[in-house]
Amino acid sequence: MLFDDPVYASRLLTLLTLSFHIIYATIGVGVPLMIMIAQWIGIKKNDMHYIMMARRWAKGFVVTVAVGVVTGTAIGLQLSLLWPQFMELAGNIIALPLFMEVFAFFFEAIFLGIYLYTWDRFDNPKKHFLLLIPVAIGAGMSAFFITAVNSFMNSPAGFDIVNGQLVNANPIAAMFNPSMPTKVTHVLSTAYMTVAFMLAAIAAYRLIKGSNHVYHKKALYMTMKIGLVFAIATALLGDLSGKYLAEYQPEKLAAAEWHFETENEAPLIMFGVVDENQEISYAIEIPLMLSILAHGYPSAEVTGLNEFPEEEQPPLIIHYYFAIMVTIGVFMIGLSLVYWFGIRRGWPFVRAQWYRWLIVLGGPLSFLAIEAGWWLAERGRQPWILRGIMTVDQAATTSDYVGHMFILFAGLYLVLGIGTVVVLRKIFKNDPVEKELEKLQGGEPS
Amino acid sequence: MSLELIGISVLWLFLFGYVIVGSIDYGAGFFNAHSIITGKQHILSKVIQRYLSPVWEVTNVFFVFFFVGIVGFFPQTAYYFGTILLVPGSIGLILLAIRGSYYAFESYGARGHKGYAFMYGASGLLIPASLSIVLTISEGGFVSIVDDNPVLDYAALFTSPLTWSIVVLSIAAVLYISAVFLTWYAFKTGDDNATELMRKYAIGWSVPLIIAASGIIYELSFHNEEHFSRMIDLWWMFGLSFLLWIGTVWLLWKRTRYGVAFGLLVGQFALAFFAYGISHYPYLLYPYLTIYEGFTNTAMAISLIIAFILGMALLLPSLYLLMKLFLFDKNYVQGNNSKKE
């Protein structure tokens, strides 16, 4: 299958590259903001610990940026190599945000290079801090533009097709397509949330492992607070995404919710399993919730999946992705909210080992939620590559050897993944906070 | 000037930018590995690392810019080249990935890992070779249309002397450009040993470069006569380029004005690169695709050009700042500022 069918192999290779890339891309979008906040607090409070936080995060960040850049280059070129007919059509309408993404990336790359290598070169720490602003903006803008491209695939806009020919192209309308606002904001806020919980997990892990340093406590409290804010924002934006889906992509919403018949007062189904007769078992049903999620009031009519021709229905598996994403999101809101309250009120259990282990678990879980969310979004628009216009079969390359390339790239990502872990461990194991603090306080008074 | 011409000129300019900064980068990796193997690491590695540190990420953007830009301005290239280049493109990508990750891994983790340094150096030569295949293919003769889809004839491609001449040229160019630049850079750092070594490499690679370049013009006279005759029409550009090459070698030989020598080199490559591009006009993929057939709609072209101008207004000052801080900062290049390491 993998070696005979270029369509199937192209889909798998794209899935592999993107699933690997978004781990690094999420870090790439989120970490600059965290570094910025830490350094800003450090300068404001004149607290060495926060400055060091920024410095240490930046050190680890370089490694992930390097892998993010190369996997980003890979997916950029793979779009043309694996989906040539799609890119031929899309190039006519959606090239503008793709092009601008490169500028944002360029901008970020330049200032990141300057930031990383000028820690010792400015007398005024505020000047060095200013370099972070273009880095964080560049990272956010890349996410903005590339998500605009993806949202175009979900809700194509800004052109007409007359007799098979593309006419009236409007690049601006294509970029500001209906799903762009919900997608972009959701992507940004989940990236900030995930990275905050990732850094919280690291701090919690160090505390569990016996380093009782106040540095880690400060880092943990700060990142959990940031994580909480963005987790709540994510939930609100997720609700808006649901309303967008009900309006523009009802088949995706219906498949994700296993909502087969069109009805009013539709219930929301969490978890469960489904058989081929659309019989659902072991599920939790929340009455009226789907109508509220989709349209904002309980008696609203929600379109069912059976309204759509069978060959245009997304796979039912996306329900599980939806469940994973939402469950983790709710869990993280609860975890960070309790932690924040607990620290303020002095509840002892939030400092207990078991609670810290939960926080450690929260890091990888947040990444899992990101992956699940993307799988939901992408498989949920099957069989289309451009919803309503071009299916994936029509877009894939006709070239042979896609299966072989899959194996090559799988090997590459394995090496890169292991390399990242090994290198990051090495950097921080050999240079724990205590040692670095000693060095800084001994060496220079600033 | 028509929109098509503006589009292709912008892209060609960026490709040229990539050829120069990429060559410096690839060559530096190769010389770094070479110096480790031949035990001359103490002479070179410091100079190379100091240059590469802040710019490795920027180099990559030039490449991304080119392939995103060409799909934007000429969407049909995605269809033709995308289908044809699956295998060489993927191999190029994997090599790029090994290189890109190396810098971060090496400088923060396994410093001095010989195997990785060797792969880094080797990929520096293989990437230009794998990417330059596009130039061969665009000359025509290797692609046929089967069932409405373009198919690449690998056997014809790999047995063609033109392919191998272009590969040799790309490798020689990488090493020559890099050596001349590093001679200048080493000279600025005040490192006499490194300067002397790089100067030797630069002069050594200047001759194979010019032989390979002339060889390609000769090959083209059989392979693509139309392109060859258009190149002959532009003889003065190639001639001027040759004179600049003599100038660079002369300055290197005399051990003076390395900065000017590098400037002449940029001029030499710019002239040859643009003369080659102009003579290839109007074809993107001979004889299937011209820049007129493959061009995007007017609305997109105009918005891309506006985006490009705004982007440049943002980038040029930033690039200037980067160069000022790292390339042309006396303290930095001499390594005086850094308190650690």
- pLDDT tens, position by position, B270-317: 888 888 888 887 887 777 788 887 787 888 888 888 888 888 888 788
Q: Chain B: residue nearest A13 by CA?
A: B90
pLDDT per position as a tens digit, A125-153: 788 888 899 999 999 999 999 999 999 98
Cβ atoms of B14 and B69 closer than 8 Å: yes
Q: Which residues contact B109 (CB under 8 A, 6 or more apart)?
A: A63, A419, A422, A423, A426, A427
Among B85, B93, B327, which would you mutate to test the A interface (most chain A Cβ atoms within 10 Å of its Cβ)? Answer: B93
Give the least confident one: A254-263, A379-388, A431-440: A431-440
Q: Does B303 touch chain A (CB under 8 A)?
A: yes
What average pLDDT score do residues A84-100 get? 87
Rounded to the nearest angstrom, the minimum Cα separation between B233 and chain A is 34
Q: Which residues pair with A166 in a beta bridge?
A: A161
d(CA A16, CA A75): 10
| C-alpha distances out from residue A53 to A38, B51, B73, Å | 7, 27, 44
Among A24, A63, A106, A116, which would you mutate to test the B interface (most chain B Cβ atoms within 10 Å of its Cβ)? Answer: A106
pLDDT band at B14 (very low <50, low <70, confident <90, very high): confident
Q: Of all residues in chain B, what percent carry a pLDDT higher than 90?
A: 0
Q: What angle do CA A106, B58, A150 make, to 5 degrees?
A: 40
* Subunit contact B315:A103, Cβ cutoff 8 A: yes
Q: Which of B143, B86, B69 is nearest to B304 (CA)?
A: B69
At A57, the amino acid letter reads W
* Subunit contact B65:A84, Cβ cutoff 8 A: no
pLDDT per position as a tens digit, B46-86: 777 666 666 667 777 888 888 888 888 888 888 888 888 88
Q: Does B122 touch chain A (CB under 8 A)?
A: no
Chain A residues within 8 A of B105 when measuring between CB atoms: 63, 66, 419, 423
pLDDT of residue B84: 85
d(CA A102, CA B71): 13
Q: What angle do CA A127, A132, A134 make, to 5 degrees?
A: 110
Surface of B (243-282) touching A: CB under 8 A: none
What average pLDDT score do residues A337-351 get? 87
* Subunit contact A401:B105, Cβ cutoff 8 A: no
pLDDT of residue B340: 36
What average pLDDT score do residues A10-39 get? 93
Rounded to the nearest angstrom, the minimum Cα separation between B241 and chain A is 31
SS3 of residue A345 by DSSP: helix
For A334, the token pair is 């609860």
pLDDT of residue B341: 33
pLDDT band at B113 (very low <50, low <70, confident <90, very high): low
d(CA A71, CA A80): 15
pLDDT band at A94 (very low <50, low <70, confident <90, very high): confident
* Subunit contact A88:B296, Cβ cutoff 8 A: no
d(CA A211, CA A223): 18
d(CA B288, CA B80): 9
SS3 of residue A160 by DSSP: strand
Surface of B (182-241) touching A: CB under 8 A: none
d(CA B299, CA B291): 17
SS3 of residue B285 by DSSP: strand
Report residue A385: phi and psi, to 5°: -100, -35
Rounded to the nearest angstrom, the minimum Cα separation between A110 and chain B is 6
Cβ atoms of B280 and B138 closer than 8 Å: yes
d(CA A32, CA A35): 5
Of A69, A111, A169, the CB nearest to B300: A169
pLDDT of residue B7: 85
Rounded to the nearest angstrom, the minimum Cα separation between A269 and chain B is 42
Q: Which of A101, A83, A97, A129 is nearest to A25 (CA)?
A: A101
Cβ atoms of A115 and A127 closer than 8 Å: no
Chain B residues within 8 A of A146 when measuring between CB atoms: none
Chain B residues within 8 A of A103 when measuring between CB atoms: 307, 311, 314-315
pLDDT band at B112 (very low <50, low <70, confident <90, very high): low
Q: Which of B310, B75, B294, B6 is nearest to A93 (CA)?
A: B75
* Subunit contact A405:B86, Cβ cutoff 8 A: yes
pLDDT of residue B333: 67
Rounded to the nearest angstrom, the minimum Cα separation between B70 and chain A is 9
Chain A residues within 8 A of B308 when measuring between CB atoms: 99
Q: Does B313 touch chain A (CB under 8 A)?
A: no
Q: Which residues contact B120 (CB under 8 A, 6 or more apart)?
A: B29, B32, B33, B98, B99, B102, B106
pLDDT at A408 over 50: yes
What average pLDDT score do residues A25-33 get? 93
| B5, containing H or E segment | helix B3-37
Of B86, B307, B337, the CB nearest to A121: B337
pLDDT of residue B107: 66
DSSP notation for A243-272? HHHHHH-HHHHHHHHT--S-EESPPEEES-
Segment of A264-268, A340-344, B128-132, B254-258 carrying the highest mean pLDDT: A340-344
Cβ atoms of B243 and B251 closer than 8 Å: no
d(CA A432, CA A439): 11
pLDDT of residue A143: 93
pLDDT of residue A409: 93
pLDDT of residue B339: 38
pLDDT per position as a tens digit, A273-313: 887 777 777 888 887 777 877 788 888 888 888 888 888 88
Task: Give residue B111's Cα distance to chain centre.
Answer: 27
Give the least confident one: A54-63, A198-207, B254-263: B254-263
Give the least confident one: A42-51, B72-81, B219-228, B234-243: B219-228
User: What stretches of A209-317 show up as alpha helix (H) in DSSP?
Assistant: 214-248, 250-257, 289-295
pLDDT at B44 over 80: no
Q: Chain B: residue nearest A424 by CA?
A: B109
Q: Which residue has the higher pLDDT, B267 or A118?
A: B267
pLDDT at A419 over 90: no
What average pLDDT score do residues A181-198 get? 94
pLDDT of residue A18: 94
* Subunit contact A113:B322, Cβ cutoff 8 A: yes
* Subunit contact A81:B101, Cβ cutoff 8 A: no
d(CA B153, CA B36): 39
* Subunit contact B311:A59, Cβ cutoff 8 A: no
Among A88, A114, A409, which would you mutate to test the B interface (most chain B Cβ atoms within 10 Å of its Cβ)? Answer: A88
Rounded to the nearest angstrom, the minimum Cα separation between B281 and chain A is 21
Q: Which residue has the higher pLDDT, B112 or B260?
A: B260
Q: Chain B: residue nearest A70 by CA?
A: B97
At A385, the amino acid letter reads I
Surface of B (33-72) touching A: CB under 8 A: 53-55, 57-58, 60-61, 63-65, 67-69, 71-72
Q: Does B2 touch chain A (CB under 8 A)?
A: no
Q: How many CA atoms lie within 13 A of A46 on its CB side?
A: 3
pLDDT band at A440 (very low <50, low <70, confident <90, very high): low
Q: Which residue has the higher pLDDT, A61 or A166?
A: A61
Residue A288 falls in which region: left (phi positive, over 0), alpha (psi -120 to 50) or beta? left
d(CA A195, CA A25): 11
pLDDT band at A445 (very low <50, low <70, confident <90, very high): very low
* Subunit contact A117:B71, Cβ cutoff 8 A: no
Cβ atoms of B54 and A114 closer than 8 Å: yes
Chain B residues within 8 A of A77 when measuring between CB atoms: 67, 89, 93
Q: Of all residues in chain A, what percent carry a pLDDT higher than 70?
A: 97
pLDDT at A113 over 90: no
